């Protein structure tokens, strides 16, 4: 993992490491008065007016037609989470910002009620009084008994950290869309079922009525109709009308454009079946719309036998009837799926945003190291089904198809920005833009580095000053629905708005103005529910073309002069530029047409810095913007996943407007101090669900490793053994102790292939040569029994292949180490206190080692003679010189790199299908006994 | 306790720094046979024969056909000028069958099961294009597995070893006797052969345990009680014999109790190998180098291993490899002694014989030995520890390394790590060149 060293301090710990925190307290007179609001373990960056809830949570609310907005459930489902936070109040707020024009009913000119397949809307809003910020995802579900057949719901991710919401917007939107999609799928199914039942009822009613009418006709031989008969006839007519209406509804719900989501593993049903159903039902076969095709045993195809009921002619909607619960509205299966997904979201996004971002960046970077990352990284974790949208860029631009698609899509945005729409009642505060304006070129990294800190402070300053209370107002800064990419008042005219290539797909550009007691809608964007399939695949929350163009009132609208047919190979930078120009032409932000220009260079510069990668957290974005080639990417699959890649979607909406990324690149600390200013959440923050366990393991391992390094003065030779491929046996009586040591040391064990780490935590039988081939770190039981004697015998027999760490007598028998790498890796005086921080430190050093091994492995002349006549010795000399001089390796460090290089070679020589014989490499070197 | 010479963990001259474990056998692996430059076969008590690639350790074929343990195996390449060279192996098993295998296809070519007893040894006479099987009788076969002729039933356990001698003769060891057979073309048929017993040599006091041909003129036999006899291969006369250079008890009648106190294994000549100058004998736990010209032992390592030495082989570079029941393989180098021959023999030199023996005897022996003080000595340059049980045999593949087989069911390929590493680099760059770049995402 690559981690910026100045970021690692912000990693969060799973649990408090008590022993590590036990440091001598300062004398009373020197101690600084404690932060007044700080409780135990409080986050010093937390806002003073802390939020009323302890951690992020997800809230599902409904705008009930009977009682109005009401919270339904929270995830995690724990009263402590929301604390004193007023869920009812917040539900009211979040439900009141649904701007979607969900329309169901009789549209003018249409005979029948028409179902709208309403898209979800996505809104970010903040309530500074409550200290709550939320990503709000509105969706509508169908309910035959509801008014207009719709039930508005919303799911909200509520956090005290607005930066998290803003910066993770895309990810949140993606994940929530999945949840919503699941919910809606279930709902459509349930709705269709409901309609079928209703139709059966109606059919039955019609038959009954018809019979009655016939009887009356027969009974009544007078030439005229009685009122009764007329009534009956009317009733019959209305039932028939109702039948037609319902049939139409059924047809509509079934003709819902099914599409197969890319995340097939997520999507809980087979769309083919759904289509079948649709086909079948289109026959208007009412009695058995689904004659349970044999073999179709899907949960949802199962239609329980239903006895039709007689429906009263006037089935008046009564308010005392009980509305269906959310669970009833959807299929139970889909409902649990949705809950699972929401839990997944909660786990994914909990914790400090800084940590999330660091995690994303390092994951993205690691993916680039496709050649070496198998050595120390959990490849399965990297390879795992990519959280597509988030890390799409990482998937390798080698996939040309995707790439092309990206550029196509990014080339053809119709950016529609409406200014002034939803102008809020808030006074917007002009923000000083002078810094940028003064220095519009800002071409040099160095300059920006210098100026940025200052600027950043200024912005913070502006932020504080700019917080003007606007009372109980709702401030809508931008909604997608209306085509408003951003909202701004005239007073804000100095604020530049920059549509980016991505603006087309998520027009979330909006600027938030802080105003107390207000709900601020920071940005919205429509859901993807109706996006054509091909677009959908890559941009789940994007609608490429704006169908609501006409809706906005008085909004400025412009379309970039970018034609879709512009050469796709066009330079990304120029793309950006042209967009910026377009933007400038739109009379906003004229002062700074070149904000984006310096960034590509900047990015490159950042990465050219050798040694430590200093990249502050920043949301990782897809790679359309390219900026390729700046990063030393080994394999030519230059991933565009440059961490510093600018994403103007966010930038335009964030306070730091265009320059925040500059800030972030140059001065991550100051960035963090502002970005991480709030952290509502004291919960652990695994950045990714799937790696939750792995994450925990890493932290534990990091912690244990730290302890090991402090405890054992001979940690260096032990770690050297592992890094150079010599099996280390941890011998001890106590299983937990041995296992802890093994866990600690496991982070130093290079992988031999893409399989699991060659670590065996606990063995009780005597070891054999084959074990050393397979395992590089073994926990071994010391037993007193005769078997134990055998075991010790085996150990001494194979001692040349082994380093033996005796956990009971605290001795280590292994070869001498005089190198320098391990000293940096495991400094017992390190100031690092947290396990995960130390883990990251280890990862960064190991990554350096890997890159050295990479260079060493793939330099042709280091291994093969330049000319045929060149003697072997000169090649050997060249090789050693390279290792010593070029790579700066000393003594035993050479062995480490050689071993890693050997692993690399083996890994890439190996035929794919073939497991390959495991090799055991060893050296005839003397071992020494280390004691404490 | 052990007087075995040991070498520390630092073994600069030991080239074997990489190993591959070849798994497949389910019982003791007793035989390794080289097929060609990079292939070898292994066989053992599980009755299965495996063909391996000596470079990659890849398992090429698994030959099933025998139902009992394999007792003998020999490579058999057809040298017919007209045909393409085909590599075959012959294997004999305790199930009283002999099978010929094709190493290229991994298939059974032919099977003979008309034996009355287990075939214990196989010899291919390339020159005559026939092969011999030795058991309770000696049979001569041609390539097509036609029985050409056979001897009458031999006493005792039958033939335990066969060696080809000049003039269409073979030497066979039967118990204590050494029998010379001669093959002669029969008069009536073109393909017919007759086998005749020419001579019986009964110079050995005990069962002959090893038999090796040194060159066209000489062959050597060794017996269980440590006699070594050098024979003339042409007239089958005794050229020289040594039976006291490792054991003073040449007169068993004088010290019968000593004889009893020693397990016969301690003096048994387990294996013999030779180069032009010397015969190398694995005797008990020791290794002895007998110079044919000087007709005496020039170097020895009385306790080369902790346990009986099972196999030794001379390498081209003055090195000697031995493997033993103690599970280790040791690499020795024959070096000239720097010190004066008058240097006193260290007292511990005869420790292994010191038990239950009068000091006088020991002194006598010491005196005797002092006269024969070798001018050379065997220096341990490396040991290979990997097997957990007796190493039965090994096969030296030169640059490719060394294959060892063991009673722990494993075969280990020992390789020169440096060489392997550069080979891998070569492969890597070849692969890169093939793919055009580094796009080898696996």
B381-419 pLDDT per residue, tens: 889 998 988 999 999 988 889 999 999 999 999 999 888
Between A77-81, A613-617, B188-192, B415-419, the lowest mean confidence (pLDDT) is in: A613-617
Quick one: average pLDDT of A754-772? 83
pLDDT in the model for residue B30: 93
Contacts of B309 (CB under 8 A, 6+ apart): B270, B271, B282, B283, B284, B285, B286, B287, B322, B323, B324
pLDDT in the model for residue B43: 93
- Which of B17, B18, B424 shows the shortest C-beta gap to A909? B424
Q: Which of A917, A925, A928 to mutate to test the interface with B (most CBs of B within 10 A)?
A: A917
Quick one: average pLDDT of A323-328? 82
Chain B residues closer than 8 Å to A906 by CB = 424
Buried b / exposed e along A728-737 (16+ C-beta atoms within 10 A)? bbbbbeeeee
Task: Work out the mean pLDDT of chain B and round it to a whole number.
Answer: 80
Give a yes or no: residue A75 inside a domain: yes
Between A454-463, A712-721, B220-229, the lowest mean confidence (pLDDT) is in: A454-463
Q: Shortest CA distance to A619 belongs to which of A579, A664, A656? A: A664
Per-residue pLDDT at A325 exceeds 50: yes
**Nearest Cα residue in chain A from B21:** A770
Partner-chain contact A858 B439, CB within 8 Å: no
Q: What helix, strand, coil percent values describe chain B, rounded to 5?
A: 10, 45, 40
Partner-chain contact A371 B20, CB within 8 Å: no
Partner-chain contact B421 A902, CB within 8 Å: yes
User: Is the Cβ–Cβ distance between A154 and A138 less than 8 Å?
Assistant: yes
pLDDT digits (tens, 9 = 90+) for A564-573: 444 444 444 4
Asked if B427 reaches chain A (Cβ–Cβ under 8 Å), the answer is yes
- Which of A773, A863, A905 shows the shortest C-beta gap to B21? A773
A286 vs A96, higher pLDDT: A96
Give a yes or no: residue A89 inside a domain: yes
pLDDT digits (tens, 9 = 90+) for A42-82: 555 554 445 677 788 888 888 888 888 888 888 887 777 66
pLDDT in the model for residue B45: 92
Give a yes or no: residue A24 inside a domain: no
Percent above pLDDT 90 for chain A: 5
Q: Shortest CA distance to B104 belongs to which of B41, B168, B186? A: B41
**Nearest Cα residue in chain B from A928:** B9
Between A159-168, A295-304, A686-695, the lowest mean confidence (pLDDT) is in: A295-304
Residue A84 and residue A155: Cα distance in Å, rounded? 20
Give a yes or no: residue A155 inside a domain: yes
Residue A473 and residue A346: Cα distance in Å, rounded? 29
Report helix, strand or coil for A685. Answer: coil
pTM for this prediction: 0.63
Q: What is the arrangement of strands in the sheet containing B138-142, beginning at the earlier edge strand?
A: B121-125, B130-134, B138-142, B147-150
Report residue A443's pLDDT band, with 50, 70 and 90 as the boundaries: very low
Partner-chain contact A905 B20, CB within 8 Å: no
List the structure tokens of A66: 């009977």
pLDDT in the model for residue B191: 63
How many other C-beta atoms lie within 10 A of the C-beta of residue B434? Answer: 8
Quick one: average pLDDT of A108-129? 70
Between A113-122, B51-60, B109-118, the lowest mean confidence (pLDDT) is in: A113-122
Give a yes or no: residue A670 inside a domain: no
pLDDT in the model for residue A228: 78
Partner-chain contact A920 B21, CB within 8 Å: yes
Give a yes or no: residue A162 inside a domain: yes
Q: Which of A919, A922, A925, A929 to mutate to test the interface with B (most CBs of B within 10 A)?
A: A919
Residue A317 buriedness (CB in 10 A; 0-12 / 13-18 / 19+): exposed
Residue B246 and residue A510: Cα distance in Å, rounded? 99
Residue A923 and residue A7: Cα distance in Å, rounded? 39
Per-residue pLDDT at A392 exceeds 60: no
Chain B residues closer than 8 Å to A927 by CB = 9
Hey, which of A326-330, A402-406, A892-896 has the most confident mean pLDDT?
A: A892-896
Q: Kindly report the nearest CA distance between residue B80 and chain A, in angstroms.
A: 37
Residue A72, domain extent: 51-100+112-218+230-255+321-351
Q: Kindly report the nearest CA distance between residue A902 and chain B, in angstroms.
A: 7
In total, the C-beta contacts within 8 angstroms joining chain A to chain B are 103
Report residue A246's pLDDT band, with 50, 70 and 90 as the boundaries: confident
Q: Kindly report the nearest CA distance between residue B254 and chain A, in angstroms.
A: 42
Task: Work out the mean pLDDT of chain A and round it to a whole number.
Answer: 64
Q: Kindly report the nearest CA distance between residue A371 and chain B, in angstroms.
A: 8
Domain tally for chain A? 2
Chain B residues closer than 8 Å to A372 by CB = none
- Which of B21, B386, B442 shows the shortest C-beta gap to A912? B442
Report residue A188's pLDDT band, with 50, 70 and 90 as the boundaries: confident
What's the CATH number where A763 sits? 3.40.50
Per-residue pLDDT at B81 exceeds 80: no
Query: How many helices, marked H, and strands, marked E, lie in chain A?
Result: 30, 14
User: Is the Cβ–Cβ distance between B168 and B177 less than 8 Å?
Assistant: no
Q: Which of A800, A861, A883 to mutate to test the interface with B (most CBs of B within 10 A)?
A: A800
Give a yes or no: residue A398 inside a domain: no
Between A77-86, A390-399, B88-97, the lowest mean confidence (pLDDT) is in: A390-399
Report residue A305's pLDDT band, with 50, 70 and 90 as the boundaries: low
Phi, psi of B415 (to 5 degrees): -135, 160
Asked if B436 reaches chain A (Cβ–Cβ under 8 Å), the answer is no
Chain B residues closer than 8 Å to A917 by CB = 20-22, 56-58
Partner-chain contact A635 B21, CB within 8 Å: no
pLDDT in the model for residue A456: 41
Hey, which of A304-308, B136-140, B225-229, B393-397 has the most confident mean pLDDT?
A: B393-397
Partner-chain contact A800 B9, CB within 8 Å: yes
Per-residue pLDDT at A720 exceeds 90: yes
Kindly list the distances between the CA atom of residue A707 and the CA atoms of A388, A782, A823, A842, in Å, as whole numbers in the listed order. Answer: 37, 22, 15, 14
Domain end marker among A306, A334, A351: A351
Hey, which of A846-850, B155-159, B187-191 has the most confident mean pLDDT?
A: A846-850
pLDDT in the model for residue B29: 93
Q: Kindly report the nearest CA distance between residue A930 and chain B, in angstroms.
A: 17
Between A120-129, A455-464, B70-79, the lowest mean confidence (pLDDT) is in: A455-464
Quick one: average pLDDT of B112-141? 86
pLDDT in the model for residue A700: 83
**Nearest Cα residue in chain A from B53:** A917
Report residue A694's pLDDT band, with 50, 70 and 90 as the boundaries: low
Q: Which of A639, A920, A929 to mutate to test the interface with B (most CBs of B within 10 A)?
A: A920
Give a yes or no: residue A43 inside a domain: no
Asked if B428 reaches chain A (Cβ–Cβ under 8 Å), the answer is yes
Contacts of A300 (CB under 8 A, 6+ apart): A186, A189, A269, A331, A333
pLDDT in the model for residue A804: 92
Report residue A419's pLDDT band, with 50, 70 and 90 as the boundaries: very low
User: On the CB side of A909, how many CA atoms lie within 13 Å of its CA?
Assistant: 24
Residue B296 gets which letter from DSSP?
E
pLDDT in the model for residue B376: 83
Between A154-163, A605-614, A852-861, B169-178, the lowest mean confidence (pLDDT) is in: A605-614
Which residues are paired to B49 by β-bridges? B43, B63
pLDDT in the model for residue A8: 40
pLDDT digits (tens, 9 = 90+) for A776-788: 999 998 887 777 7
A369 vs A409, higher pLDDT: A369
Asked if B20 reaches chain A (Cβ–Cβ under 8 Å), the answer is yes
Chain A residues closer than 8 Å to B10 by CB = 924-926
Contacts of B319 (CB under 8 A, 6+ apart): B331, B332, B333, B334, B381
Percent above pLDDT 70 for chain B: 81
Phi, psi of A930 (to 5 degrees): -105, 140
Partner-chain contact A925 B9, CB within 8 Å: yes
Quick one: average pLDDT of A119-147? 82
- Which of A863, A912, A919 shows the shortest C-beta gap to B18? A919
Residues of A near B (CB-CB distance < 8 A)? 370-371, 398, 634-637, 754, 768-770, 773, 794, 797-800, 857-858, 860, 863-864, 898, 902, 905-910, 912, 917-927
Asked if B440 reaches chain A (Cβ–Cβ under 8 Å), the answer is yes
Per-residue pLDDT at B42 exceeds 90: yes
Query: What pairing do the DSSP bridges indicate for beta strands B376-385 and B391-396?
Result: unpaired
Per-residue pLDDT at A88 exceeds 90: no
B75 vs A610, higher pLDDT: B75
A692 vs A727, higher pLDDT: A727
Chain A residues closer than 8 Å to B14 by CB = 924
Q: Which of A796, A863, A901 to mutate to test the interface with B (most CBs of B within 10 A)?
A: A863
User: Is the Cβ–Cβ distance between A724 and A892 less than 8 Å?
Assistant: yes
**Nearest Cα residue in chain B from A925:** B10
pLDDT in the model for residue B48: 92
Per-residue pLDDT at A756 exceeds 80: no
Q: Kindly report the nearest CA distance between residue A156 and chain B, in angstroms.
A: 41
- Which of A863, A919, A924 shows the shortest C-beta gap to B9? A924
pLDDT digits (tens, 9 = 90+) for B328-372: 999 999 888 765 544 444 444 444 444 444 444 445 544 444 455
Contacts of A582 (CB under 8 A, 6+ apart): A415, A499, A558, A560, A561, A562
User: Is the Cβ–Cβ distance between A727 and A801 less than 8 Å?
Assistant: yes
Phi, psi of A401 (to 5 degrees): -55, -50
Partner-chain contact B422 A906, CB within 8 Å: no
A182 vs A232, higher pLDDT: A182
Report residue A616's pLDDT band, with 50, 70 and 90 as the boundaries: very low
């Amino acid at each position: 993992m690559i981690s910026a060293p100045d970021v690692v301090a912000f990693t969060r710990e799973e649990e408090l490491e008590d022993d590590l925190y036990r440091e001598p307290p300062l004398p009373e007179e020197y101690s600084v008065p404690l932060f007044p609001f700080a409780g135990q373990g409080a986050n010093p960056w937390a806002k003073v007016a802390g939020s009323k809830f302890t951690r992020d949570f997800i809230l599902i609310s409904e705008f009930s037609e009977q009682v109005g907005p009401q919270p339904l459930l929270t995830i995690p489902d724990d009263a402590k989470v929301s604390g004193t936070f007023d869920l009812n109040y917040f539900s009211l707020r979040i439900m009141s910002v649904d701007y979607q024009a969900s329309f169901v009913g009789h549209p003018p000119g249409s005979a029948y009620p028409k179902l709208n397949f309403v898209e979800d809307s996505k809104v970010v809003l903040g309530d500074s009084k409550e200290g709550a910020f939320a990503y709000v995802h509105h969706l509508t579900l169908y309910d035959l008994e509801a008014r207009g057949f719709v039930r508005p719901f919303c799911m909200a991710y509520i956090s005290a950290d607005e930066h998290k919401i803003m910066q993770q917007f895309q990810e949140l939107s993606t994940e929530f869309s999945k949840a919503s999609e699941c919910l809606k799928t279930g709902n459509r199914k349930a709705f269709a079922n409901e309609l079928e039942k209703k139709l059966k009822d109606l059919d039955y009613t019609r038959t009954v009525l018809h019979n009655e009418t016939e009887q009356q006709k027969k009974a009544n031989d007078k030439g005229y109709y009685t009122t009764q008969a007329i009534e009956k006839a009317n009733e019959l007519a209305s039932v028939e009308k109702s039948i037609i209406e319902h049939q139409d509804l059924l047809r509509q719900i079934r003709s819902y454009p099914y599409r197969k989501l890319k995340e097939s593993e997520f999507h809980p049903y087979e769309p083919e079946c759904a289509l079948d159903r649709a086909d079948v039902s289109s026959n208007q076969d009412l009695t058995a719309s689904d004659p349970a095709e044999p073999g179709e045993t899907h949960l949802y195809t199962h239609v329980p036998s239903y006895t039709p009921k007689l429906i009263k002619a006037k089935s008046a909607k009564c308010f005392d009837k009980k509305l269906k619960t959310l669970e009833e509205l959807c299929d139970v299966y889909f409902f649990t799926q949705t809950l699972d997904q929401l839990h997944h979201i909660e786990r994914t996004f909990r914790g400090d945003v800084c940590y999330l971002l660091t995690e994303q960046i390092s994951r993205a970077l690691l993916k680039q190291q496709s050649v070496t990352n198998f050595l120390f990284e959990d490849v399965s974790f990297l390879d795992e089904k990519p959280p597509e949208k988030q890390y799409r860029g990482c998937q390798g631009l080698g996939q040309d198809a995707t790439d092309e698609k990206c550029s196509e899509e990014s080339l053809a945005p119709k950016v529609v920005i409406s200014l002034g729409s939803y102008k809020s009642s808030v006074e917007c505060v002009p923000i000083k833009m002078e810094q940028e304006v003064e220095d519009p070129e800002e071409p040099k990294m160095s300059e920006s580095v210098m100026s940025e800190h200052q600027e950043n402070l200024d912005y913070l300053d502006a932020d504080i000053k700019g917080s003007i209370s606007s009372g109980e107002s709702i401030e809508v800064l931008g909604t997608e629905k209306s085509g408003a990419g951003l909202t701004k008042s005239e007073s804000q005219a100095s604020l530049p708005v920059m549509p980016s290539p991505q603006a087309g797909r998520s027009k979330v550009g909006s600027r938030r103005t802080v105003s107390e007691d207000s709900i601020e809608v920071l940005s919205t964007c429509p859901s993807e529910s109706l996006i054509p399939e091909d677009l959908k695949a890559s941009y789940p929350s994007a609608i490429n073309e704006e169908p609501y163009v006409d809706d906005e009132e008085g909004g400025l609208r412009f379309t970039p002069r970018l034609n879709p047919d512009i050469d796709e190979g066009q330079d990304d930078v120029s793309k950006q530029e042209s967009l910026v120009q377009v933007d400038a032409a739109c009379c906003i932000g004229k002062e700074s047409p070149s904000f984006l220009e310096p960034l590509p260079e900047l990015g490159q510069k950042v990465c050219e810095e050798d040694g430590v990668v200093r990249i502050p957290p920043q949301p990782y974005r897809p790679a359309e913007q390219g900026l390729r080639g700046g990063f030393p990417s080994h394999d030519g699959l230059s991933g565009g996943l440059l961490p510093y890649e600018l994403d103007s979607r966010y930038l335009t909406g964030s306070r730091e407007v265009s320059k925040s990324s500059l800030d972030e690149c140059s001065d991550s600390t100051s960035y963090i101090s502002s970005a991480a200013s709030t952290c509502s959440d004291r919960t652990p923050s695994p950045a990714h669900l799937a790696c939750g366990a792995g994450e925990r393991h890493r932290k534990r391992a990091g912690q244990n490793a730290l302890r090991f390094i402090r405890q054992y003065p001979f940690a260096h030779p032990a770690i050297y053994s592992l890094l150079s491929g010599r099996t280390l046996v941890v011998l001890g009586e106590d299983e937990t102790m041995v296992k802890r040591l093994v866990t600690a040391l496991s982070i130093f064990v290079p992988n031999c292939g893409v399989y699991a780490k060659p670590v065996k935590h606990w063995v009780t039988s005597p070891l054999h040569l084959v074990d050393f081939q397979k395992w590089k770190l073994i926990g071994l039981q010391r037993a007193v029994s005769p078997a134990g004697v055998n075991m010790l015998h085996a150990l001494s027999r194979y001692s040349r292949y082994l380093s033996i760490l005796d956990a009971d007598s605290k001795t280590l028998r292994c070869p001498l180490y005089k190198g320098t790498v391990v000293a940096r890796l495991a400094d017992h005086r390190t100031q690092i206190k947290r396990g995960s921080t130390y883990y990251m430190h280890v990862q960064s050093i190991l990554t350096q080692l890997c890159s050295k091994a990479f260079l060493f492995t793939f330099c042709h002349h280091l291994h093969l003679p330049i000319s045929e006549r060149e003697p072997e010795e000169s090649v050997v000399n060249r090789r050693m010189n390279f290792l010593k001089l070029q790579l700066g390796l000393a003594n035993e460090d050479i062995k480490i790199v050689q071993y890693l290089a050997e692993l690399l070679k083996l890994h890439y020589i190996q035929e794919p299908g073939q497991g390959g014989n495991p090799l055991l490499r060893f050296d005839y070197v003397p071992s020494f006994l280390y004691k404490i | 306790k052990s007087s075995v010479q040991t070498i520390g963990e630092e073994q600069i001259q030991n080239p074997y720094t990489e190993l591959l474990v070849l798994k497949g056998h389910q019982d003791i692996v007793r035989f390794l046979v080289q097929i060609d430059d990079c292939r070898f076969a292994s066989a053992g008590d599980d009755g299965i024969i495996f063909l391996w690639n000596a470079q990659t350790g890849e398992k090429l074929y698994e030959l099933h056909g025998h139902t009992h343990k394999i007792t003998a195996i020999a490579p058999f390449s057809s040298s017919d000028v007209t045909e393409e060279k085909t590599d075959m192996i012959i294997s004999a098993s305790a199930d009283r069958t002999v099978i010929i295998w094709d190493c290229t296809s991994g298939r059974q070519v032919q099977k003979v099961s008309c034996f009355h007893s287990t075939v214990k040894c196989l010899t291919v006479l390339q020159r005559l294009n026939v092969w011999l099987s030795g058991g309770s009788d000696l049979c001569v076969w041609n390539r097509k597995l036609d029985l050409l002729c056979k001897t009458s039933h031999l006493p005792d356990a039958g033939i335990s070893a066969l060696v080809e001698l000049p003039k269409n003769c073979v030497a066979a060891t039967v118990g204590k006797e050494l029998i010379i057979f001669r093959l002669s073309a029969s008069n009536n048929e073109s393909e017919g052969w007759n086998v005749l017993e020419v001579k019986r040599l009964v110079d050995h006091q005990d069962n002959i345990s090893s038999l090796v041909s040194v060159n066209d003129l000489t062959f050597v036999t060794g017996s269980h009680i440590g006699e070594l006899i050098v024979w003339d291969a042409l007239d089958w006369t005794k050229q020289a014999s040594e039976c006291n250079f490792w054991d003073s008890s040449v007169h068993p009648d004088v010290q019968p109790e000593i004889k009893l106190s020693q397990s016969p294994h301690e003096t048994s000549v387990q294996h013999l190998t030779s180069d032009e100058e010397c015969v190398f004998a694995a005797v008990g736990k020791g290794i002895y180098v007998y110079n044919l010209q000087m007709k005496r032992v020039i170097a020895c390592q009385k306790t080369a291993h902790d346990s009986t030495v099972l196999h030794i082989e001379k390498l081209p570079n003055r090195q000697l490899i031995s493997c033993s029941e103690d599970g280790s393989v040791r690499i020795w180098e024959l070096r000239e002694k720097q010190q004066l021959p008058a240097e006193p023999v260290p007292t511990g030199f005869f420790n292994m014989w010191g038990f239950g023996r009068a000091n006088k005897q020991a002194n006598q022996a010491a005196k005797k030995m002092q006269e024969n003080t070798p001018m050379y000595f065997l220096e341990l340059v490396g040991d290979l520890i990997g097997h957990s049980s007796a190493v039965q045999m090994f096969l030296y593949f030169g640059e490719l390394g060394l294959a060892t087989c063991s009673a722990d069911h494993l075969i280990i390929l020992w390789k020169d790590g440096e060489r392997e590493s550069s080979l891998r680099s070569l492969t890597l760059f070849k692969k890169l060149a093939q793919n055009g770049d580094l796009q080898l995402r696996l």
